[in-house]
Amino acid sequence: MREILGRRRRLLSRRKDGRPELIDAALTFATEWQWPVLPGVTADPRGGSRCGCPDPDCTVPGAHPFDPGLLAATTDARMVRWWWSNRPGAPIVLATGGKAPCAVSLPALPAARALAALDRRGMRLGPVVASAARWAILVKPYSMEQLGELLYAKDFVPGSLRFHGEGGYLALPPSETGHGEVRWERAPLPGSASPWVPDVEAVVDAVVEALTRTGVNAPEV
């Protein structure tokens, strides 16, 4: 019980200004859950909706890797401490795939309606990451071949669905990006191992059915 409470405190610990400690969350992800992470590029200080990367038209400001690149993602505690000690405000970016979770994301409003429909059905979901623009449902790692077969078997898949698989990335709470705060819509339950996540097939099947039944078209965003 002491171990569980310790993990929860690290995820929820806060700075003097009331904002969560990014370094504590990054260490929990990397060392306790074995999710490879790295610091993302911060938003441009001249404008919160602009990215600090060289691309003036960046569509994910402050929510993607830049320097270091995605391949630098690690579970090494010393590296994580060094990164966030030097860049305490950097977003936490998860390198999806491999042994880490992947994700299925869609625009926020259709996602909220889809999750409500899944709750009514009693479907079990794992952690859900939310920002103002999009929500992401964490799923078990999958291959591109597996995803291709899954989508090919569908008569219709909303174009707004995005898949964060091998070689992809996702900003994790409590990051601040150019689109605002990244938070847990469904927080992981604290425990001794990495949080449980469902299979991608179950999530895609359920989300597509829920969007169809609720009449939500989920336009591309």
Q: Which two tokens stand for residue 32?
A: 């306790």
Q: Phi/psi of residue 95, each to 5°?
A: -85, 105
pLDDT of residue 29: 95
- pLDDT of amino acid 34: 95
Q: Which residue has the higher pLDDT, 178 or 142?
A: 142
> What is residue 191's predicted lDDT score, i.e. its pLDDT?
66
Per-residue pLDDT of 45-67, as tens digits, reads: 665 567 778 888 887 877 888 88
pLDDT digits 0-9 by tens, 82-141? 999 999 999 999 999 998 999 999 999 999 988 998 898 899 999 999 999 899 999 999
Other C-beta atoms closer than 10 Å to the C-beta of 56 total: 8
pTM of this structure: 0.85
Cβ proximity of 96 and 102 under 8 Å: yes
Q: What is the pLDDT of residue 137?
A: 97
Whether residue 32 has pLDDT greater than 60: yes
Please say if the pLDDT value at position 9 is more than 70.
Answer: no
User: How many other CB atoms are found less than 10 A from the CB of residue 16?
Assistant: 5
Within 8 A by CB and 6+ apart from 198, the residues are 124, 125, 126, 137, 139, 140
DSSP 51: B
Q: What is the mean pLDDT of the chain?
A: 84
| Distances from the Cα of 2 to the Cα of 31, 34, 196, angstroms | 17, 20, 21
